[in-house]
Structure 1
Amino acid sequence: MIHFAIVGCGHIANKHIEAIAMTEGAKLAALCDTNIARLSELKERNNVPVFSNMTDMLEQELPIDVVCICTPSGLHTGLAVEAANAGKHLVIEKPMALTLDDVDAITQAVRRNGVKATVVHPNRYRPAIRYLQDALSRDAFGKLSHVNVAVRWNRGQAYYDQASWRGTHAMDGGVLMNQAIHSLDLLIWLFGPVAEIKSFVDTRIRDIEAEDTAVAVLRFSNGILGIVEATTTIYEQNLEETISVFGENGYAVIGGRTANWIKQWKSASITEEEINRVIQEVDLDPFGVSGHQRIIENLVHAIQEGIEPDITLEDGREAVKLVVDIVSKGKAELYC
């Protein structure tokens, strides 16, 4: 049995609690948060020890094997390094950290202490994305010309005003780091590293430090061109999250308010019958087993078998690096 503690008990912690409960060989052992009222609520619901300080939690003789870091992003580094130094494996919510120096500090601590760590990029496990990955592995669209991701969402001013850390550079990051990083992770995972970037970023509407809107054009190392659009300024509600792929022998568009549905799919090498079957399967179960559960299951397996998790710290670093590069180049373009 692999025992998990969760540090940071906001909204995302609920997904971790559920994922641990649904995973064979995993058990929730402790919860930690500075919000005492929230802790009391979760203690009653989950019947586990609770702590307001992670150091105190780690000093107790509790059967904790893994620490899930679910705090605001700016706190990830210190907590992850401390947990790794205590010999605990790690599940780190996205983004892994907000700077490359912090990412590298976590990686060094993990390697130094011989523990395992994974980063939460659950969109890789969506059924439609898995079908897309399989089609790309079979070269179903032929030579690719370009790909596109768009995150057109709403995070109103009230969202940012709920907590002083939201929208800040030090604790949260902007739309790319907080909302669009999952789409950027998919770009790298599916199409490889990025070689060249042209971008603009700006804070157009929301009263925050970080950017609320970003646009970028990419050239991948393999020559594929890419377009990124991300914003939290869409009026009133989330509009869409899409990933589109265009090639000489076909195309695919996966979208909806979240990228869970196959909206368009054509391929010279896949029959209409097979395409329709896949679309129907996705429509029946567009979310599948939760990505968080897949990640918890995979880490349990990695610990038990002594292998690396599927989503590595290097994967987490590549996603953060792409955000950092787009933002830095975008700000340079904006103010040149």
Structure 2
Amino acid sequence: MAIRNVAVVGLGIGRGHIAEGYSAHPDKFRVEAICDLDSERLSAVGDDFVVPVRTNRFDEILAMPEIEVIDICTPPGVHLDQILAALAAGKQVICEKPLVGSLADLDRVAKAEAAAPGRVMPIFQYRYGDGLQKARRIVDAGIAGKHYLATVETAWNRGAKYYSVPWRGKLETEFGGVLLTHAIHSHDIMTYLLGPVASVFARTTTRVNPIEVEDCAVASLAMADGSLVSLAATLGSQVEISRLRFCFENVTFESGLKPYAPGDAPWQIIPASPEVAERIEGALADWDPVPSRFAGQLGRYHAALESGGPLPVTLDDARRSLELVTALFASAETGRTVELPIRPDHPKYADWRPQPKAVA
């Protein structure tokens, strides 16, 4: 089994990738280099994790032949250029959410990936943990039956200190607010279990902070299978939770309340009958624990690199996520139901941000 040499670029959430993810798999990854514009943070993280190469320059990371994987954890506004440059340099690429700022940009990445030796893995670490993964196995085994309705709540808290970081809260550099940067995780879990969205109606507002992007949102979704989903998200909750409830024909699932690890056990798994309970027990009889968050995703990522098989999170997953975001923003702006998929002729395909209002 090969140990893959990694460079982590951006040491805000990037520090979490190292602490939770790579450090959990010392037999699979070696963090050889880190990159950040903040020299103090660069030194601190480098010292904490004994990283040999520390630089402020992304081009130095690209030029390092020993680096196989570049893990991009920078602000959203620079993801596109860094992903394209890393692919052009022949690297494997990991990138934090939101992957890019539009579906058009995502298609540029997909085209570049198709022509490059490396692949791109978006980060959706909330998928990992025993709770969600057990639910996924039950659904995939056909035990859950027809889906009826789901509710997805993201109730977090962000204030002035969080938005003192210059790129946050601005349409130009963050691209969106609670729907894009925060609730995107729980919404990915929802589509991970239920599949494609058919249409959305959304309302957004900014009530918690004096920022350019939304910090409260609600939405009603019709899924491709005919079931219904309700979404609610805010950054003004004094008790932070992420909560997902899925009502299927044969079983109801409800996540725990951990705001930043909703995939973790325990999930409530409530069967409709003793017979369904027996089938669930059989489906989970050989269960191996799934590490939480970054440890879970990066462990599966290494296995995919070794086998050449599908990545645990793909550009198709990123498209599904960003297509939902695009539809939510389009609906909130127009006050109309928006159908999916979003095609290149849609007015929000190239940029989901609201259009500037005309000056009279």
TM-score by length of 1: 0.89
More divergent stretch after superposition (7-16 vs 128-137):
7-16
Determine helix, strand or coil for the equivalent of 2:320. helix
- 1:265 is the counterpart of 2:270: yes
Determine helix, strand or coil for the equivalent of 2:252. strand
> Match of 2:247, as an amino acid?
F
1:276-315 matches, within 5 Å, as 289-315=291-317
Deviations 1:274-330 (A, max 9, x none): 78xx9xx9xxx9xx5232123222232222222231211111111111111111211
**Which residue in the other structure is 1:256 paired with?**
257
> Match of 1:267, as an amino acid?
A
Contact 2:202 2:218 in 1 (8 A): yes
CA distance in structure 2 between the partners assigned to 1:152 and 1:218 by the alignment: 19
Contact 1:116 1:308 in 2 (8 A): no
> Match of 1:298, as an amino acid?
R
Contact 1:202 1:331 in 2 (8 A): no
> Match of 1:292, as an amino acid?
F
Deviation at 1:266, TM superposition (A): 3.5
> Match of 2:323, as an amino acid?
K
Determine helix, strand or coil for the equivalent of 2:172. coil
CA distance in structure 2 between the partners assigned to 1:123 and 1:14 by the alignment: 13
More divergent stretch after superposition (251-260 vs 35-44):
251-260
Contact 1:202 1:212 in 2 (8 A): yes
TM-score by length of 2: 0.83
**Which residue in the other structure is 1:142 paired with?**
145
Contact 2:7 2:61 in 1 (8 A): no
**Which residue in the other structure is 1:47 paired with?**
51
Contact 1:199 1:329 in 2 (8 A): yes
What stretches of structure 1 move > 6 A for 4+ residues in a row?
Answer: 272-275
Q: Structure 1 residues 82 and 333 mapped into 2: Cα distance closer, same or farther (>3 Å)?
A: same
Determine helix, strand or coil for the equivalent of 2:173. coil
Contact 1:175 1:230 in 2 (8 A): yes
CA distance in structure 2 between the partners assigned to 1:147 and 1:47 by the alignment: 44
Contact 1:69 1:93 in 2 (8 A): yes
Q: Structure 1 residues 274 and 222 mapped into 2: Cα distance closer, same or farther (>3 Å)?
A: closer
More divergent stretch after superposition (294-303 vs 201-210):
294-303
> Match of 1:215, as an amino acid?
V
Determine helix, strand or coil for the equivalent of 1:164. coil
1:1-336 matches, within 5 Å, as 1-23=3-25, 24-45=27-48, 46-59=50-63, 61-161=64-164, 163-172=165-174, 173-235=176-238, 237-238=239-240, 240-258=241-259, 259=262, 260=264, 261-263=266-268, 265-268=270-273, 269-271=275-277, 289-333=291-335
Determine helix, strand or coil for the equivalent of 1:271. helix
Contact 1:141 1:267 in 2 (8 A): no
> Match of 2:258, as an amino acid?
R
Deviation at 1:132, TM superposition (A): 1.2
Contact 1:98 1:177 in 2 (8 A): no
Contact 2:156 2:235 in 1 (8 A): yes
Contact 2:130 2:292 in 1 (8 A): no
Quick one: percent identity of the two aligned structures? 27
Determine helix, strand or coil for the equivalent of 2:255. strand
> Match of 2:293, as an amino acid?
G
Determine helix, strand or coil for the equivalent of 1:297. helix
For the aligned residues, what is the CA RMSD? 2.4
Deviation at 1:124, TM superposition (A): 1.5
Contact 2:72 2:95 in 1 (8 A): yes
Contact 1:146 1:245 in 2 (8 A): yes
Contact 2:153 2:233 in 1 (8 A): yes
Of Structure 1 and Structure 2, which has the larger fraction of its residues in helix?
A: 1
